[in-house]
Amino acid sequence: MAKIVLDHLVKRFGKQTAVKDLCLEIEDRQFVAILGPSGCGKTTTMNMISGLLKPDAGKVFFDGKEMNDVPPGQRGVGFVFQNYAVFTNMTVYENIAFGLKIRHRPPEEIDREVNEVTRLLQIRQLLSFNASKLSINDMQKVALARSMVTKPKIFLLDEPLSNLDAALRNIMRAELKKIQQELGQTTIYVTHDQVEAMSLSDRIAVMNFAVLQQYGSPHEVYNRPKNLFVANFIGSPTINFMEGSFGSGAFTLKDFTRGKIPLSKQAMHAAGQKLTSQEVVIGVRPEHLKIMDRGSEGAGFQGEEDGGSPSGLLAKVVSSEPLGSKTIVYLHPDANPGVILKSSMGSDYRPAIGEMKELTFKEKNLYVFDKKSTELAARF
Amino acid sequence: MASIKLENVTKRFGKTTAVAGLNLEIKNGEFFCVLGPPGAGKTTLLRLIVGLERPEEGKIIIGGEEVNDLHPSKRDISMIFQNLALYPDKTVFDNIAFPLRQQKEERAKIRERVEAVARQLKIDWLLEKLPSQLSGGERQRVAIGRAIVRQPEAYLMDEPLSNLDALLRLEMRVSLKELQTSLKETFVYVTHDQVEALSMGDRIAIMNAGVLQQVDEPGAIYRYPNNMFVATILGNPPMNFLKCAASDGNKELLVKHESFTLTVKGDEVRTALGGAVKEGGVILGVRPEDVKIHLEKPNGREPGGRVNGGLVDAEIYVTEPLGNETIVDIKIGSNVIKVLAESDFAGAPGRRVWIGLNEHKLHFFDLETHACAYHASERDAIELWGG
């Protein structure tokens, strides 16, 4: 178990800066995901924590002790790599025992530890198998067992589930979470998959272009994303963005013929505080953007003060995705067929393609972003 | 516009049977998806239709005509490959014009047709560029343009969107579907992505290991999967499976799990589950959205005797908050099942909970063959008894 502190870490490769001035604190026993698209700096960050890379500036601390000059083998870190790197010339038992064997632990201790960890991961029946004969899913468990058995203070996992098929990925995600909760190891999990990050983590560090964008709980990054990038990256289907302007007590959305949505006094005040200009980007998540027949009761934008007024925000149905548990409907705003909006509706909802619907959503579900700075200006 | 029919088609590569005894009919003007894991035979199926492979057995019939001996160039089918295969040294205009020039069309006609297609696909401003100067999405549209320009009988697409990033894939999915609706042509679309198949297909064919598993409208396959493979491939998180014992009582059939019992009444379902009773067991399937979690202990006995109102004692194993919803992993006896719950779900691991199953949305699969023996519906008298 260990508390990890990253203090102004910088890493460059030639002229490229892979990690820019990263400051991060990971508490003992926490599961933290480093999440971002390819090239954002997440693997480089993990490699600096493990010691495989030396930072160009800044320091790495484990429990207050500076680790920059400590080689990876002595940092007490357990790895699981994306391609598992299981030793194919050894049995499962030998693979898992390896870390303890090279540390010269007595055979009875090795035996006890290997049996315990394989019982936990439910692969005890595979112990005598040659590792090359395993299914990819079992290989993943062996890779996990191999690093768990040395009881590292810190677990580093680099996209460990990406090679598994969808059904198994779902199952292993839950198993991984359970194991970490039981063992309590401080765990850092690198991924580009926001579903994994959301489902597994206590906190998520979202990175883009070498810079930390936001560090918060799944709830925080989903409901209070710091900027457009985070808002768009987290959540599936992705958040809807509608550009517009702020003024005269309302937002006017430019992609709609009648795009004015009047705001409550509190909302106006809150929005006015942080906005640096009149130009805004309004975000609404698909599960909050409902569609109704034009002029029907309850349709339209719902401010805090009244029950709802026809917003006049019309959009044309382009396609729908019946996903079983819900239906995602794709629409174009009536004045801009170049924009796609997504609405998450019930599983039996079947709209007619080409039909004009009225967008229905509440003021409290709006995310207001400052268009210039891309930062979140208000949530009501 | 044409219908495509495969009659008893088998294709082997050495000792491997890529496609086995396939019988399939794709209707005129249909958006037909073929879904399956890698190695299922989907690409082989497309290559058989377009003529790049000959079947060892069976017939391929396009527009009513048997085409087994017809060269691909004469079958009037366009195919879009996964890697697009654009001619790198030709401009966008020349790429799209190519099939028409092959057919020795008039220059003026070619120009008119290419410009019309480019306008339709919103790439008319790129006609003089080379593929290397285009973005992924633009290249995608050039490949589509080249396919539609000669107005073939049918369009075949092999995972055309798999190389695109998530956002672009979404936009292209929507525009491909819009295109097919406006062209009204037959599209055969291969994918391994179940969301794509569910959202785009008028009908879906599910394949596994060269064998056709089921063909139907997406909603029908989702609601009535033929076997456990099909039940797993559609839906995320996939269907949960619980192994149960099955026995026949006097008035009813009993399906018993460690933690609960289902009583099943009705002649139709009892006959359907006769085989399960003989084998002594059945696999119960239930989708994550058809399970309900109660955080508070329900009140005592129902009139009629069900303890806890027919809910099952269980425990929260782990929770996965996804933002818009939460996946709750629930331990029932020695099984862990996944349940879809609200985004603000408040339970913590280890907490005792009570589970209800939607008795009208249960599926019963054969223990050995994994084929579906029965799909429950509103007509059935099935009751869940905890303990």
User: Which DSSP string corresponds to A318-345?
Assistant: EEEEE-SS-EEEEEEETT-TT--EEEEE
pLDDT tens across A295-309, in order?
777 777 776 555 445
Q: Which fold has domain B240-386?
A: OB fold (Dihydrolipoamide Acetyltransferase, E2P) (2.40.50)
Burial of A136 (0-12, 13-18, 19+ CB in 10 A): exposed
Torsion of CA A161, A162, A167, A168, to 10 degrees: -30
Q: Tell whether A367 lies on the interface with B, counting CB pairs under 8 A.
A: no
Q: Looking at chain B, which residues constitute the CATH 3.40.50.300 domain(s)?
A: 4-233
Smallest CA–CA distance from A219 into chain B, residue: B323
Q: What is the CATH number of domain A4-227?
A: 3.40.50.300
Tens-digit pLDDT profile for residues B267-291: 888 899 988 888 889 999 999 999 9
Mutate to test the interface with A, among B168, B170, B171, B330 (most CBs of A within 10 A): B170
Give the pLDDT score at A303: 61
Amino acid A307: pLDDT: 45
For chain A, give the mean pLDDT. 89
| Min Cα separation B237/chain A (Å) | 7
Residues of chain B whose pLDDT is less than 50?
A: none
In chain B, which segments carry CATH 2.40.50.140? 240-386
- C-alpha B138, offset from chain centre: 27
Contact (Cβ atoms closer than 8 angstroms) between residue A267 and residue A378: yes
With contact defined as beta carbons under 8 Å apart, do B9 and B53 qualify? no
Give me A102's structure tokens: 């090279």
Q: Which residue has the higher pLDDT, A27 or B102?
A: A27
How far is A156 from B104, CA to CA, in rounded Å? 62
Subunit contact B349:A286, Cβ cutoff 8 A: no
Is residue A348's pLDDT more than 90?
Answer: no
Domain boundaries, chain A: 4-227, 240-379
B4-233: CATH topology:
Rossmann fold (3.40.50)
Q: Name B80's bridge partners.
A: B157
Cβ-defined contact of B170 to A287 (cutoff 8 Å): no
* A316-341 pLDDT tens trace: 998 888 888 899 999 999 999 888 89
Q: Do A178 and B288 touch (CB under 8 A)?
A: no
Does pLDDT of A266 surpass 70?
A: yes
pLDDT for residue B162:
76
Q: Using 50, 70 and 90 to split pLDDT, how confident is the model at A311?
A: low
Phi, psi dihedral angles at B177 (to 5 degrees): -65, -40
Q: Cα angle at A127 between A122 and A128, to 5 degrees? A: 150
Cα dist from B307 to A350, B191, B253, whole Å: 39, 47, 19
Rounded alpha-carbon distances, angstroms, from residue A5 to A21, A25, A64, A116 = 13, 5, 8, 31
Report the complex ipTM: 0.84
Q: Tens digits of per-residue pLDDT, B28-58?
A: 999 999 999 888 999 999 999 999 999 999 9
Distance CA B277, CA A42 (A): 54
pLDDT at B182: 82
Tell me the chain B residues in contact with residue A164 when contact means C-beta distances shorter than 8 Å. Answer: none
Q: Judge: B287–A324 Cβ closer than 8 Å, yes or no.
A: yes
B175/chain A closest Cα distance in angstroms: 9
Give CA–CA dist B107/B297, Å, rounded: 79
- Per-residue pLDDT tens digits for A74-122: 898 988 887 777 888 999 999 999 989 988 999 999 999 999 888 878 8
Say how far apart CA A341 and CA B167 lie, in whole Å: 12
Pair B292, B324: CB distance under 8 Å? no
Vertex B264: Cα angle to B261 and B268 (nearest 5): 155
Strand order through the sheet with A260-262:
A260-262, A250-253, A240-247, A279-284, A367-370, A376-379
Tally the C-alpha atoms within 13 A of residue A27's C-alpha that lie toward its C-beta. Answer: 8
Q: What is the CATH number of domain A240-379?
A: 2.40.50.140
